[in-house]
Amino acid sequence: MKWLLILLLSATILFVVSIHNTPAVPPTYFQYLTNLEVTVNNEIIWFWGQDTMWGPVHSNDYLGLKYNPVFMGPVTCSKNRFIYNDPGDIWFEYEPVFNVPPYPFYASYPHLVELSDVQINDEDGNYMTRIWMRGENGIEMYQYELGMEQPSLYDPGHNAVNWHEINPPRDIIIFIDGQCEVYGTLLGRLTIYSTGDMYLVDNILYDGSDRYTADFQENNNPSMLGLVSEQNIIIKDNDVNGRGNGDGEYGRNEIDHHSIAINGSLIALGESFTFEHHNDDWEMYQGPSPDERGGVYHKGGVAQYRRGYYHRSNHNGTGYFKSRLYDTRLLTDGPPGFDPDTYPDVSGTYDELNLRHGPYHFRNVIVDDLRIWGGVEIILHGNDALQVRQSLRMEGRDNHRITVLTDTLDDGGTLYCNNADTFIENVDFSTNATLRLNCDTLNISDCWIGGAVTASGTISLNRNVFDGVVELNSFHTASVERCVFEDGLTINGNLHDGKIINNTFVGSRHTGIEIRRFRSLEIANNIIAFNRLGIENGFYEAPVMHHNDVFENWGGDYLECEAGEGSISADPLFVDAANNDYRLSWGSPCIDAGDPESPHDPDGSRADMGAFIYDHAHSVDDNQTEMPSLFSVTAYPNPFNSKTLLKVKTGVNCLAYLNVYDLTGREIIREVKMVEHGANSFTINSRTLSSAGVYLAQVMIAGEKQTVKLLYLP
């Protein structure tokens, strides 16, 4: 009987083909994930006083809260609110986030079939497949004919047919075309995927887990299990799981006769994780009253299309109490076939979106209110990638920045804001990400922006690095301070009360500052050096200019404008202009040369020229041009298979430049951002690398370079 095929597949190739429809984080990431909160009987199951959720929780529906449940992990919801029933002191460790994009529930996972190492057929529904995990003895699989006497779980005997054995699995996927039963102790990494209902017929534990609580030491446990059904995952109503009021008959301490302990991620694509025989009047089965079967002790996560029952109050109580623990390894890892760094497409029109987990692909998205949290990565596809109409908040943090990429270096992508209030902080935009920001108010701070920027509105730009052309088409006010412009700034529009103060314009292929139109404009305390042109005024009135250093712009320093009071033309003595380090060296003529009426520098001295403050408290003498930076770079994890974190420690505040090369010397990644004294970091995602292998990550700070060898293993 050819019921069992052992397939040796090229997993790497198939995986690349199959991930395109998988979501932002896999369903195994969550401790609790549902599409619909109402049960098959149209009832709401409440999170209530006995519920403590330790890991991430998300629902596409309205979550129901009652009494005083506790949520220690992040809680997100695709609706705009919760449903409450007699709420008490509900505890959220993190502020809940609403209007998150719905998590996609697919009817099937074809990639698991493609990646499967073992495929089993149920002979047109005539057989049940059992999978018995036996720890260091591996896995035994067999079948029995439905309608015949069932084999004993631990002594199957002659009723079991079609046997097959597997050694302790290392990243094995088993596919069952039909129903299956699962039980035992796992040593290794395994995913079981069935097209029919999946029954849990006894405890399912990792080797080393506590058989009563399902807890285990995560740091020392190599095992990880995924149980996936296209239908239901069902706790079997049998003697070991507490059939016939087993909890009441044997008592809470005799757990071998009732209850079930489970490790792993449970995913019911078609319906629910639930228990067999709810004691409904219309069921053929009718158990005792009550029918309390014990507890469900689960460490891992549940993802289900529709919320299922653990317990019902009918017949004086039916089912299980629950004890939930979360396996924190699932935040960064997953069972075979589930990659935590795959991502979804987001498209269509939304009133409001909150993006927390990421990353996301944006294609033709229109949203009124968009909020993106620190650590999220988004990928823009094309000129119509993303349009925001009312409010945009991108709120990264220095050690948890937001990253905006484009699909390829050639095609690029555009973020367009139309009359939106826009706040962007600690965000890195790739060189082909174009920003068209027509805003009521616009605030950008502490960002590295690689592509072109066009902006209008009431504008505030602070402590940014602009690698591309920037054009301010403002009909309102604009304040630009402490920014670096490496391809120039254009002022256009009926700008009034414009202030361009303490910036560095250097290396532009065009003009450092090009002025086309304004109402009132002050340009002071800037360095404009080594550009094609320095300051070019194309308007019939002259701006107010003073205390700038305009030097060696080879096509001319001043065009149709005058230098103004306090201005100089001298080499600013950057620390290392060739390597884009534009801090001022000791002896620079720009030190203490700014407008004496400007606010003093933090050390109490007169304002300097340029974007970077020279700190006299750490000044050096003629024989030493730079303080030791205490500069170090490490990578963890390394080797890595999804992402690695470059930890950068430095003793100075300045720009840091990251370049990642393959072994042919081809540049794969380029990033620039402000770093501060102490610990900083860059994140390198494997998806930005061309293939598995060795890469060289070079970080340059204050003219110093350090290189770390990275090993990417898929």
Report helix, strand or coil for 249.
helix
Spatial separation of the C-alpha atoms in residues 539 and 315, rounded to whole Å: 85
Spatial separation of the C-alpha atoms in residues 574 and 470, rounded to whole Å: 23
pLDDT band at 4 (very low <50, low <70, confident <90, very high): very low
Q: What is the pLDDT of residues 687-697, one digit of tens each?
A: 778 777 788 88
- Nearest of 180, 143, 141, 179 to residue 161 by alpha carbon: 143
Q: Which domains does the chain have, with CATH numbers?
A: 4-20+105-208+216-284 (no CATH), 27-92 (no CATH), 345-581 (no CATH), 632-712 (2.60.40.10)
CA distances to 3, 166, 332, 510, 578 from 530, rounded to whole Å, are 74, 68, 46, 11, 11
**How many residues belong to the chain?**
714
For residue 621, the model assigns a pLDDT of 38
For residue 2, the model assigns a pLDDT of 28
Say if CB 593 and CB 610 are below 8 A apart: no
Q: Mean of the pLDDT values across residues 183-207?
A: 96
Q: What is the pLDDT of residues 545-558, one digit of tens each?
A: 999 999 999 999 99
Question: Alpha-carbon dihedral of residues 367, 452, 684, 348, nearest 10 degrees?
Answer: 20
Q: Mean of the pLDDT values across residues 585-598?
A: 93
**Other Cβ atoms closer than 10 A to 320:** 22
* Sign of the torsion angle spanned by Cα atoms 577, 582, 583, 588: positive
For residue 21, the model assigns a pLDDT of 30
> How many percent of the chain have pLDDT more than 90?
55
148 compared with 570, residue with greater pLDDT: 570
472 compared with 374, residue with greater pLDDT: 472
For residue 9, the model assigns a pLDDT of 22
Spatial separation of the C-alpha atoms in residues 304 and 32, rounded to whole Å: 8
Q: What is the pLDDT of residues 516-526, one digit of tens each?
A: 988 899 999 99
For residue 623, the model assigns a pLDDT of 37
Q: What is the pLDDT of residues 224-239, one digit of tens each?
A: 999 999 999 999 999 9
The answer to whether the predicted template modeling score (pTM) of the entire model surpasses 0.75 is no
Beta bridge partners, 499, equal 479, 522
Those residues whose C-beta lies under 8 Å from the C-beta of residue 236, and which sit 6 or more positions away, are: 181, 199, 200, 201, 276
Report helix, strand or coil for 159.
helix
Q: How far apart are the first and last CA of the chain?
A: 36
Those residues whose C-beta lies under 8 Å from the C-beta of residue 37, and which sit 6 or more positions away, are: 44, 45, 59, 61, 62, 63, 64, 307
* Sign of the torsion angle spanned by Cα atoms 518, 440, 502, 578: negative
Question: Alpha-carbon dihedral of residues 452, 455, 461, 467, nearest 10 degrees?
Answer: 10
Q: What mean pLDDT is reported for the chain? A: 86
Three-class HEC string of 433-477: EEEEEEEEEEEEECCEECCCEEEEEEEEEECCEECCCEEEECCCC
Those residues whose C-beta lies under 8 Å from the C-beta of residue 691, and which sit 6 or more positions away, are: none
Spatial separation of the C-alpha atoms in residues 117 and 266, rounded to whole Å: 20
Spatial separation of the C-alpha atoms in residues 138 and 152, rounded to whole Å: 19
Three-class HEC string of 109-144: CHHHHHHCCEEEECCCCCEEEEEEEEHHHCEEEEEE
Q: Is the pLDDT of residue 625 over 60?
A: no
For residue 514, is it left (φ>0), alpha (ψ between -120 and 50) or beta? beta
Spatial separation of the C-alpha atoms in residues 352 and 79, rounded to whole Å: 10
For residue 401, the model assigns a pLDDT of 85
For residue 618, the model assigns a pLDDT of 55
Q: Mean of the pLDDT values across residues 451-456?
A: 94
Q: Mean of the pLDDT values across residues 627-632?
A: 57
For residue 626, the model assigns a pLDDT of 40
Spatial separation of the C-alpha atoms in residues 603 and 386, rounded to whole Å: 43
Q: Is the pLDDT of residue 23 over 70?
A: no
Instruction: Please compute Rg for the chain using Cα positions.
Output: 31
Spatial separation of the C-alpha atoms in residues 387 and 341, rounded to whole Å: 25
For residue 638, the model assigns a pLDDT of 79
